[in-house]
Amino acid sequence: MRVVTRIPSRRLPSSVPRARHNVRNIPRHRPYSTHPPAARLNTPTDFSTTPLLAHASQSALQNTELPSEVRNGTTKRMNLFQAINDALSLAMAADDSVILFGEDVAFGGVFRCSMGLAENYGSERVFNTPLSEQGIVGFGIGAAAEGMKAVAEIQFADYIYPAFDQLVNEAAKFRYRDGTEGRNVGGLTVRMPCGGVGHGALYHSQSPESLFTHIPGLRVIMPRSPIQAKGLLLAAIESNDPCIFMEPKALYRAAVEQVPIGSYTLPLSKAEVLKEGSDLTVISYGHPLYTCSAAIEKAEKDMGISIELIDLRTVYPWDKECVLKSVRKTGRCLVVHESMVNAGIGAEVAASIQEDKDTFLRLEAPVLRVAGWGVHMGLMFERFNIPDVARVYDTIKQAIEY
Amino acid sequence: MRVPLASLARSPRHSTFLPGHPAYRAPLPQRWSSSLSRKPGSAGVRFPGAVDSKFTNALHFERPATYPAIPTYRALSPDGDIIDSSFTPPSDTLALSMYENMLSISIMDLIMFDAQRQGRLSFYMTSQGEEGTCVGSASALEKEDVIFCQYREAGVFIQRGYTFDNFMSQLFANKKDAGKGRNMPVHYGSATLNIHTISSPLATQIPQAAGAAYALKMQRLTDPNTPSRIVACYFGEGAASEGDFHAALNIAATRSCPVVFICRNNGYAISTPTLEQYRGDGIASRGTGYGIDTIRVDGNDILAVRKVTKKAREMALQDGGRPVLIEAMSYRISHHSTSDDSFAYRAKVEVEDWKRRDNPITRLRKYLEKKSLWSEEKEAEARGRLRKECLKAFAQAEKEKKPPLRSIFEDVYEEMTPETKAQMEQLRGIIERYPEEYDCSEFEGGKDTLSP
């Protein structure tokens, strides 16, 4: 059934469900994403003022992780999907062996990440595959094993499971089992939109990152912003290890910042301290960083404390040293992620903190986790499941008052 | 026409391709099949999903039973006579070397099966009855062709130049094993021979073969000076039930990949007979459904397998590349593996009958004898020599030290991560604190290789 609707003037982030009919049915009043009128904490993220995005060229180019020629260059306003498109385009221009494929990538992708690439680089390098995730990943492994830089797209992280065998048993173990023969599938990068989007329900909201972090041999990356997405994606494509690159889909259109024009990579397996603080460390990655940032702002004002915020960026192999250093300094810590609390990234981070004898001695409070409940993402209940500002704020309070 | 890719790409220095951007290009106009106008006098609309389908007013379901089974191509009769008159036999030298390669594998199989029974290695899989499929098809490939295997393809390895020493190092997982002692026996691999390392999960190599073939095709597009190469991919009829088989044949067809899929249909997947594996006409009948040129061949006829593979290789390189499917029919004479007693699910008499009635080694031997290239004396000499060579490699490999313990931690990533280095330290610490609990003496360099 084709639903014909008036397209609203405001462009809102919208997921494109897998069903092949047009569901751009966005009425002006959306009961599923409104917040209570008296809310002080749970207000929508204001992406135009958040300190996590570079709103001016100058702040983007101050980033010391960027190479000097890029820092001396210019920037351009991009949202997250445009930054990913830019990274893909730069990677393809620089290296003939980069190929891009998946379901519906040829016309630009259902989230517009591959727009214009087929026209610019040819249909041999940017192409649609049959609708088969195990086929896409298996094909990518084979292409990478024979020297291509294979960038495979899985339309939603929720649909990666048919390819789980190929990722776990093949991609992750390829270098190890080949031993001195030295072949590997480091050229493989698997991109996938992930995370809640307001109305994705069971199969357009998942964040399966911790499933991949239990597999030695894969790098699992999740950027928080357009600048990060571009640099980390270029690093993932360049990396000689197979990479799972997870793109928080809610940020595709929402997160907009000044992104450096040139080609640059950002380091993998390196966390970033986004904000220094002395009383508490908040560790997160991806979309919830904006929630954390808002909660920190309120908590610092209300409680008169100073909070450090860390973005893991690569969730495995992760930057343990950066986290431990921060917690040794602050003595308190909470980990925030969207996916289920049980055996999530928070479990590994918390366990590592208490396991490190120097850090354990510095702890003033238990390491706390703010994460999704042990439930599935019911359509009408997303805002009660994904950690919001109130939950992060309340957990900060618990850690401080302990 | 082959054009370097660089010329296909208008590479803007940077571009986000949005309207208004200087590098923005409007999407290329595309004609979808559904937009084709109706031809005058045509039988009706053309559905995009099946443009050549004609309408009929007779209600009729297609029934597999009404189609004859796909025939099995044979070049050599069981008595060793050439029955395909158009057939050019291989040179005598090649025929003899193929025969010796089959013999080598069958001798090694007997020795290693018994060695496993004596507890000298953990596991083994023989390929009795399937030497012809593997040696025959491998003989028709070029050195640069890339191969993906399942596990019962020792004949492919030996035909390409894998030696008894290579086999034994892998089987005993010693320090000369390319897999650094990480893989179960029989999981061979060789970069110099362009054969990817075998992994246990069934059928995973089939979509990989399609992707690898696409890579070879692209590399030739980029640099026309590279030789045209194909990928050959082996799997059993049981593995063809996996989703990966479906994914692979479909994507190989839609992306026109130069890959030859070679299915060894030996009648059993462990204990499961084909009657419980599928109800169609074997694996071959599926090929055409994916739009893939397909042939069924007598796997016990090494010359037929060779000829079919040679032709398939040519076809795979035509029209810029396309997949071909070969189903080689045989019978699994051996047990599935050393962990299996196949008489639990099939009669001994059935196996003995197959052994006597038809065997790839015997059939080629008859052919060679009829050409006066082989004799009883030569047979006895070859068997004795090969057995000696094999046992010599066996004894050497068994004596060899195991790979250094450091191999536990290497190659998970390109570089060892700080976490892995810390874990290596932990292992060394525990071995040092409890020396009586661990024996590191058989590993090259002992516990000292666990130092960062």
Instruction: Give pLDDT, residue B43.
Output: 60
Q: Which residues of A touch B146 (CB under 8 A)?
A: 146
**pLDDT mean over B318-324:** 96
A121, A146, A217 ranked by CB distance to B412: nearest? A217
CB A244 within 8 A of CB A192: yes
Between chains, do B16 and A82 touch, taking CB under 8 Å as contact?
Answer: yes
B204, B219, B247 ranked by CB distance to A132: nearest? B247
Instruction: Give pLDDT, residue B357.
Output: 82
Q: What percent of chain A has pLDDT over 90?
A: 91
B201, B250, B255 ranked by CB distance to A165: nearest? B201
User: Scanning every residue of chain A, which has its alpha carbon at the shortest distance from the alpha carbon of B411?
Assistant: A176
**pLDDT mean over B229-233:** 98
Instruction: Give pLDDT, residue B358.
Output: 87
Instruction: Give pLDDT, residue B45.
Output: 72
Query: How many residues are recorded in chain B?
Result: 452
What are the pLDDT digits (tens) for B8-46? 344 444 334 455 554 445 554 444 444 555 566 666 678
Between chains, do A139 and B419 touch, taking CB under 8 Å as contact?
Answer: no
Active site residue A133: yes
**Residue A8: pLDDT band by 50, 70, 90 thresholds?**
very low
Q: Where are the alpha helices (DSSP H) in B229-375?
A: 243-254, 284-287, 302-317, 348-357, 360-370
Between chains, do B15 and A116 touch, taking CB under 8 Å as contact?
Answer: yes
What are the pLDDT digits (tens) for B354-377? 888 889 999 999 999 999 999 999
| Shortest CA gap B222–chain A (Å) | 8
Tell me: pLDDT of A2 over 50: no
Tell me whether residue B363 is exposed, middle or buried, using C-beta atoms within 10 angstroms of its C-beta: 0 to 12, 13 to 18, 19 or more: buried
pTM above 0.85, yes or no: yes
Residue type, B200: S
| Shortest CA gap A120–chain B (Å) | 6
The domain B65-399 is classified under which CATH number: 3.40.50.2300, 3.40.50.970, 3.30.230.10, 2.40.100.10? 3.40.50.970
Which of these, A155, A152, A127, lies nearest to A138 by C-alpha position? Answer: A152
Q: How far apart are CA B177 and CA A179, in angstroms?
A: 8
| Catalytic annotation, pick one of A103, A133, A209, A338 | A133
Instruction: Give pLDDT, residue B40.
Output: 63
B197, B204, B214 ranked by CB distance to A169: nearest? B204
Q: Which residues of A touch B210 (CB under 8 A)?
A: 135, 138-139, 142
Select the more confidently predicted residue: A85 or B11.
A85
Which residues on adjacent β-strands are paired with residue B297? B73, B328
Residue type, A366: P
**pLDDT mean over B233-259:** 98
Q: Would you say the C-alpha torsion B218, B221, B222, B225 has a positive or negative sign?
A: positive
Average pLDDT, chain B: 92
**Residue A12: pLDDT band by 50, 70, 90 thresholds?**
very low
Instruction: Give pLDDT, residue B38.
Output: 58
Q: Which residues of B touch A107 (CB under 8 A)?
A: 27
Question: What domains lie within chain A, and their CATH numbers?
Answer: 57-260 (3.40.50.970), 272-401 (3.40.50.920)
Query: How does strand A149-153 pair with strand A98-102?
Result: parallel
Q: Which residues of B touch A129 (CB under 8 A)?
A: 251, 254-255
**pLDDT mean over B269-284:** 96
Active site residue A204: yes
Test mutation, A176, A212, A270, A355, chain B, max B CBs within 10 A: A176
Q: Would you say the C-alpha torsion A133, A135, A140, A141 has a positive or negative sign?
A: positive
Q: Which residues of A touch B211 (CB under 8 A)?
A: 138-146, 150
**pLDDT mean over B122-130:** 95
Instruction: Give pLDDT, residue B3.
Output: 40
**pLDDT mean over A218-242:** 98
Tell me: pLDDT of A5 over 60: no
DSSP assignment string, B73-124: B-SB-TTS-B--TT--PPPHHHHHHHHHHHHHHHHHHHHHHHHHHTTSSS--
Query: Among A26-30, A230-234, B271-275, which range has the highest average pLDDT?
Result: A230-234
Between chains, do B251 and A148 touch, taking CB under 8 Å as contact?
Answer: no
| Catalytic annotation, pick one of A103, A153, A199, A204 | A204
**Residue B296: pLDDT band by 50, 70, 90 thresholds?**
very high
What are the pLDDT digits (tens) for B416-431? 999 999 999 999 999 9
Q: Which residues of B touch A132 (CB under 8 A)?
A: 243, 246-247, 250-251
| Shortest CA gap B392–chain A (Å) | 24
**Residue intervals in chain B for CATH 3.40.50.970:** 65-399
**pLDDT mean over A261-279:** 98
CB pairs under 8 A between A and B: 226
